[in-house]
Structure 1
Amino acid sequence: MPILHFHLAEGQYTAEQHEALLVESSRFFAQVLACPIDRVRVFIQLYRPDLVAVGGVPLCRAVQRAPYFSFVVMEGRSLADRHRLLTGFTDIVERVLGVDRALVRGGIVPVAPENWAIGGVPGSVMRQAEIQERTGQGA
């Protein structure tokens, strides 16, 4: 279920940087959540610089870069794991893309297990034991 989106302006990074961002963040996501990497999905969404503004200035006129990420996780993940992901994805963006970390923004989109499907089956049904363990309800 782990889903990660990076929102970047076109033309600011190389194909190699994009690939490194995808690979490193996928591995990190799987490591932190202790889940198989085949469950992880990472996307890069590119925007034309004239369609992005930083501080009210279109990016095509600004010298700053403004990467943004958001990730989806099922409710019940620990605060420590969520904070580790926020910090770790920021670290990866800073290192791989060479961006000042003060300009990186990111957020979490928590999803209730009953509102997420895996192969058409609600997550609350598919992974009931995992979800109960994660939320401290026991099996």
Structure 2
Amino acid sequence: MPIVHFHLIEGGATPEQERRLLLDASRLYAEVLECPIDRVRAFIQPYAPGRAAVAGEMVSEGAAPAPYFEFLVLEGRPLEQRQRLLTGFTDLLVEILDVERSRIRGHCKRVQPEEWSIGGRPAAELRRQDIAAFSRRMQLDEA
């Protein structure tokens, strides 16, 4: 289920920077969520400068790009993990693309396991054991 989308301006990064962003974001996601990396998906959605405005100014007319990212997690993930991802994805954009931190925005979307599918089957069904083990671990951590 772990999926991250980076919304970037076309031409604002080299192919190598994009590659590094996608791979480093994938590793971060797997590490923070303690999940197999084969479950992680990372995408870059490019926008032409004439199709993006920042602070009321068109990027094509001189506005500095301001990356946005969004990522998905199954409901029940602790706030600490979600915040680590918000910070971590921001750190990657700052480090890899040399973007001013204050210009970056990010959003975590929580999804109910019953509303997510893997191969057409509900995640709640396929990941029942993972979800139960995760819940037990969270209860032990809280105790």
TM-score range, shorter chain: over 0.9
Report the CA distance between 1:129 and its aligned residue. 2.1
Aligned to 1:132: 132
CA contact (8 A) 1:77 1:135 kept: no
1:95-134 counterparts in 2 under 5 A? 95-134=95-134
CA RMSD of aligned residues (A): 1.4
Task: Give 5+ residue unaligned stretches, structure 2.
Answer: none
TM-score, normalised with respect to structure 1: 0.94
1:42-61 counterparts in 2 under 5 A? 42-61=42-61
Q: For residues 91-121 of structure 1, what are the alpha-carbon distances to aligned partners after superposition, in whole Å with 9 as ceiling and x for unaligned?
A: 0010000000100100011100000001111
TM-score, normalised with respect to structure 2: 0.92
Q: For residues 14-46 of structure 1, what are the alpha-carbon distances to aligned partners after superposition, in whole Å with 9 as ceiling and x for unaligned?
A: 111100101100000000001111100000000
Identity score, percent: 49
CA contact (8 A) 2:57 2:63 kept: no
1:1-139 counterparts in 2 under 5 A? 1-136=1-136
Residue identity matched to 1:28? L
CA contact (8 A) 2:3 2:72 kept: yes
- The alignment covers a number of residue pairs equal to 138
Q: Decide which moves more: 61-70 or 36-45.
A: 61-70
Taking the aligned partners of 2:82 and 2:113, their CA distance within structure 1 comes to 16
Q: For residues 67-113 of structure 1, what are the alpha-carbon distances to aligned partners after superposition, in whole Å with 9 as ceiling and x for unaligned?
A: 10000111010100000000000000100000001001000111000
More helix, by proportion: 2
3-state SS, counterpart of residue 66 of structure 1: coil
CA contact (8 A) 1:5 1:45 kept: yes
Taking the aligned partners of 1:15 and 1:69, their CA distance within structure 2 comes to 18
3-state SS, counterpart of residue 18 of structure 1: helix
